Amino acid sequence: MINFPQLVVNSFVTGGLYLLAGTGLTLTYGLSRFPNFAYAEFVTLGAFTGYLFLRHPGQPVVPALLAAFVAAGLLSVAAHALVFRPLQARNAGLIHLMIASIGLGYVIRHAIGAIWGWSALSYQTLWQTYEVLTARLSALWLWLIVTAFLAGVALHLLLTRSRIGKAIRATAANPELARVTGIDTDRVTLLTWFLGAALAGTAGVFRAADTRLYPMLGWEILLPIFAATVLGGIGNFYGLIAAALILGLAENFGVVLLSTIGLSTEYRMAIAFLVLILVLVLRPKGLAR
């Protein structure tokens, strides 16, 4: 018997996670014009930073989220200032930037592995569960959905109502023109790298709380995040919101479909890939255009 309310809840959870984790990727991708594969590691660092605050049962979740937000954001700013900006200043091509991001990813992932080890850890927090219709809903999932929703609204307001948001959009649309109109594009870029990765860091906390915690955590959700980014249109935040939700639905309903036709549910990750390929064939510019 298929439990529809539960599937819808699960889809929102998955979608919320992809939204939080993908926002920074799509914004920095649109702004700096290369896909940063080290992004996975920002998610992982957030998760491990959260571990410092959620080691024992009964600890509140908000400090963990804030710490993950700051740690991942700062790491991202450092990565941009020390690796990517100098490379771009040397006119490194798109592929060189991608290779550098993969190399940086290995450095960060194995540094995390050196600090915290490679065996899986888990948060010690117990989450209250609620029953809504026939769906079970844990407090963790509520936190995740609410955080993703608030982050979405806050970013929307930031991008449309504030000067800095306008500056971000202007820089993404045309960096040269933005610079001649007096926008400090370097600062705008740094801020975007901070904000985006910071959200990814909080996504890491949620992912770790929902599953387990180890250095490959970020890498394992990197591909669906990329799929969501491409599906939404690179650099398009509103597209990402829709894409994250669509991928969440596709994955959770797809898993049910997989098990009814007798395939392994391990193929869950392949669903995002299938969506990615279909998008590239049918609508390469993403959903929005």
Mapped onto helix, strand or coil, the DSSP state of residue 36 is coil
Among 223, 256, 287, 288, binds other proteins (CB under 8 A): 223
Listed residue (226, 211, 189) closest to 22, CA to CA: 226
Site track for other proteins across 65-84, x = CB under 8 A: ------------------x-
Residues from 263 through 282 that contact other proteins (CB under 8 A): 263-264, 266-267, 269-270, 272-273, 276-277, 280-281
Residue 127 binds other proteins (CB under 8 A): no
Pick the binder of other proteins from 21, 230, 243, 255 (CB under 8 A).
Answer: 230
Structure tokens that stand for 90 in this block: 């040397």
41 vs 61, which CB is nearer to other proteins? 41
Amino acid at 241: I
Q: Give start and end residues of each alpha helix (H) in the chain.
A: 4-32, 39-53, 61-79, 85-89, 94-116, 139-161, 163-173, 175-180, 185-210, 217-232, 237-260, 268-282
Structure tokens at 106: 């290995």
Regarding 211 and contact with other proteins (CB under 8 A), the answer is no
Q: What DSSP character marks residue 7?
A: H
- Integer Cα distance of 39 and 73 in angstroms: 11
Handedness of CA 157, 162, 164, 168 (dihedral sign): positive
Q: Which of 107, 120, 150, 177 binds other proteins (CB under 8 A)?
A: 107
> Among the candidate windows 14-22, 85-93, 150-158, 201-209, which touches other proteins by CB under 8 A?
85-93
Q: Which residues bind other proteins (CB under 8 A)?
A: 34-35, 37, 83, 86-87, 90, 92, 94-96, 98-100, 102-107, 109-111, 113-114, 223, 226-227, 230, 263-264, 266-267, 269-270, 272-273, 276-277, 280-281, 284
